[in-house]
Structure 1
Amino acid sequence: MAFLCRKLATTSRSGIPVVRNLELQAGTRKGRLHRTLAETADDIRQGASLAEALRRRKCFPDFFSEMIACMEPAGALDAALADLADYYEHQMRVRRTIIQMLAYPAMLVFTATVVIPFFKGYMTAKVQGGSAEADFFLFCWHFTRARLPTLTAIALLAAAYGALFRLGIMQKVTAPLGAYLWPFSCVARSAAMARFYRAMSILHRSGLKASVGIRQAAKLTLNRLIEKDLVRAGAQVQEGLSLADALGASRFVTPSDSAMIEVGEESGKLDAALHKLSEYRLAAIPSPVNIILIGLGALLVAAIAYLFLMKIATMVRMIFQLLPG
């Protein structure tokens, strides 16, 4: 999504029409994405808006479709695509960070559950002597066959997860976790407010009224609870309250957020202040994830270190038994 949004934003800024833009991107893709982009271009040719055409395609994320629906009437499509590219690039960086943090514990788990048991079993077979399993390659076959059901179950679970994720079912199942279970709720709410501030920044830059912009940007939170709370703030702005005071009454807007919005209003640089708030919220997203991962990682490393030392001690004893005399 990041690469596609970046390409669409670049060609859109150069003045290429949306239909031609989609055709160009379809020409550089293969398989399902090629068909999807071509069908989207055909829908627009038949009179549909870009947002309507995207909503008919179930493969695009909800945030992507809603962002386009929000920005297209305001004439800020190129800015929306550029911000979407930034958003998805940030998501990729967060995923990479999490994978890097999990790589070392995963390596320790693999060593403790596969590598050490393998050599321990092989050394045991050598100590017993005369066993057919003392042959290294034959022992490899027996070791793998004994664990084949477990490996098959893991492969099937991974395949099922991938299929459910592609169909969008996994996101619906895990949505309640993101809404109500700490620390996932903190991550989900930070991401929702980051999307809101970014959309507000673009809409304000395009000249849309703040009261209307809040209602449209609130839809991009993809969270009914946050959306309802922010829509109330939009009604207060329409009644004459400042944006900082109206949003400050929301329980999802922190006092520092409200103060920064107030400074932006007074300085005439509200769009820049909102954009900066979006960046701050995005930067804060990995924090609760890091806390959980570091805690789990510390417990895992301690447990595996204990098992590792115990198994190394066992292997050393077995090696001494193999020595002559």
Structure 2
Amino acid sequence: MATFSYIGRDQSGRKTSGQINAETRVNAITVLKEKGIATTEINEYKQNVFTKEITITTALKPRELVIFLRQFAALLEAGVSVVQSVQILQEQSEQKSLTRVLTTIQEQVQQGESLSNAMGTHVKFFPPMVIQLTRVGEVSGNLDEAMSRLADYFEKRYEMRQKVISALTYPALLGMVAIAVLNVMLYIVIPRFTSMYANTGKELPELTQAVIALSEFGNRYWWGTLLAIGIFFIGLLMCLKNDTSRFYIDYAILKVPILGRILQKTLIIEFSRTLSSLFTSSVPILQSMTITQNIINNTVYKRMIGEAFASVEEGNSMTVPMKRHRVFPPLVLHMISIGEQTGNLDVMLMKITTFYEAEVEHITERLQALLEPILILILSVVVGIIVLSVVLPMFDLYQNINL
């Protein structure tokens, strides 16, 4: 597909210019004519190394996706056609990658392609759930409701993640400040006192000797510390790329005290909300499980959902493999089992979501309240030990002078 620069006049007679993507020059003129623009000049736009715009098409950020879906739903509810809605969103978008994608989608829809199929050509930009529920909305004739439901889903998902992130942000910052302070004291402050104590010829207290030895080791072998950190992170990245090692790492993270519990409950929320939203939209159960498996970002849960998929495909309950992995509490398994037996699985999954959302919010509030004083106490103790190691020899020197 080529890019054409054009100059023309719109329906009101005003001069307009811009660029348009089309297969041929004739197609470009036809598309512009359909938009009410009479072209007076049109030429293929040749890009070189200096004029070519370098862009990277990536998926929409969670907040941007929510805004896009909300605006799309509002336009459809107002009676605006799909083509016009896409055009309006494309014109008001400030993100270049979104503008480019929407321009392509608009052209595809104008040529008779469905919106879901047009979105499906940009799988790296739109999540699978958006494409699937858009297709369901098109078939049922309730595309506006589908977009609104998607906006609700991604908004709640975004809010839950933000709560967890905000609860851990301050402790993380405090931890980084603590590490910075300790490095300054060990590798800048302590060496200055070391040279002063060396001139006294007195034997230093054991605590002072230990702190000085740690400081000298850090100053002498700083490159080894950096090398070890680098090797650790490179090894970690290599392990994360391997499916087997990634599984065990994810499983170990789930067993970390407090943080593992928060992650486990967050994954349960994501699993139950996604599956419930898909069931509510009349997406078949096996297809819903496949989409949920792609959305979950944890290999333990991915493998569990894959085994649950095989169990359902064979006509059994999805809770059978869930019990083996022990990543779901008994309460969740019982509620899913009841939902399967009564035919109200979507309702039960939404109840699980509501319950664990309250749980996560409560835990994060308690964690934030506990971590701050604990980190401050640890920092105070460590700094106190370093300061004490500096002060103790001064007391000895002062006593010797008085004697």
Bin of the TM-score, shorter chain as denominator length? 0.5 to 0.7
Q: Report what 1:10 is aligned to.
A: 70
Unaligned runs of 5+ in 2: 1-60, 77-81, 138-145, 200-218
CA distance in 1 between counterparts of 2:91 and 2:352 reads 34
CA distance in 1 between counterparts of 2:243 and 2:279 reads 30
Local SS of the residue matching 2:155: helix
Q: Which has the larger radius of gyration?
A: 2
| 1:261 pairs with 2:336 | yes
* Cα distance, 1:180–1:51 mapped onto 2, change above 3 Å: farther
Aligned partner letter, 2:152: A
* Cα distance, 1:51–1:39 mapped onto 2, change above 3 Å: same
Local SS of the residue matching 2:68: helix
Contact residue 175 and residue 375 of structure 2 kept, 8 A: no
Q: CA deviation at 1:114?
A: 0.9
Q: Report what 2:252 is aligned to.
A: 183
Aligned-residue RMSD, C-alpha: 4.8
Further displaced range: 206-215 or 77-86: 206-215
CA distance in 1 between counterparts of 2:275 and 2:86 reads 26
Q: Report what 1:40 is aligned to.
A: 101
Aligned partner letter, 2:133: M
* Cα distance, 1:39–1:251 mapped onto 2, change above 3 Å: same
* Cα distance, 1:112–1:215 mapped onto 2, change above 3 Å: closer
Q: Report what 2:278 is aligned to.
A: 203
Contact residue 23 and residue 38 of structure 1 kept, 8 A: yes
CA distance in 2 between counterparts of 1:171 and 1:35 reads 35
Q: Report what 2:148 is aligned to.
A: 78
Contact residue 87 and residue 103 of structure 2 kept, 8 A: no
| 1:66 pairs with 2:128 | yes
Q: CA deviation at 1:7?
A: 1.0
| 1:107 pairs with 2:182 | no
Aligned partner letter, 1:74: V
CA distance in 1 between counterparts of 2:309 and 2:349 reads 17
Give aligned pairs, total: 275
Q: How does 1:116-265 map to 2 (within 5 A)?
A: 117-122=187-192, 173=241, 178-181=246-249, 182-185=251-254, 193-221=268-296, 223=299, 224-236=302-314, 239=315, 246-251=317-322, 254-264=329-339
CA distance in 1 between counterparts of 2:346 and 2:173 reads 39
Per-residue CA deviation, residues 46-67 of structure 1 (Å, 9 max, x unaligned), is 427354243244xxxxxx6222
* Cα distance, 1:105–1:177 mapped onto 2, change above 3 Å: farther
Contact residue 319 and residue 337 of structure 2 kept, 8 A: no
Aligned partner letter, 1:2: P
Unaligned runs of 5+ in 1: 28-33, 58-63, 130-145
Contact residue 261 and residue 270 of structure 1 kept, 8 A: yes
Q: CA deviation at 1:280?
A: 4.9
CA distance in 1 between counterparts of 2:239 and 2:68 reads 26
CA distance in 2 between counterparts of 1:274 and 1:207 reads 15
Aligned partner letter, 1:184: I
| TM, length-normalised to structure 1 | 0.62
Higher RCO, Cα 8 Å, sep 6+: 1
* Cα distance, 1:56–1:3 mapped onto 2, change above 3 Å: closer
Per-residue CA deviation, residues 21-55 of structure 1 (Å, 9 max, x unaligned), is 6426622xxxxxx2211122123124273542432
Seq. identity, %: 13
Higher share in helix? 1
Local SS of the residue matching 2:351: helix
* Cα distance, 1:90–1:178 mapped onto 2, change above 3 Å: farther
Q: Report what 1:133 is aligned to.
A: none
Aligned partner letter, 2:120: E
CA distance in 2 between counterparts of 1:51 and 1:262 reads 35
Q: CA deviation at 1:233?
A: 3.7
Local SS of the residue matching 1:107: helix
Q: Report what 1:139 is aligned to.
A: none
Aligned partner letter, 1:276: K
| 1:312 pairs with 2:390 | no
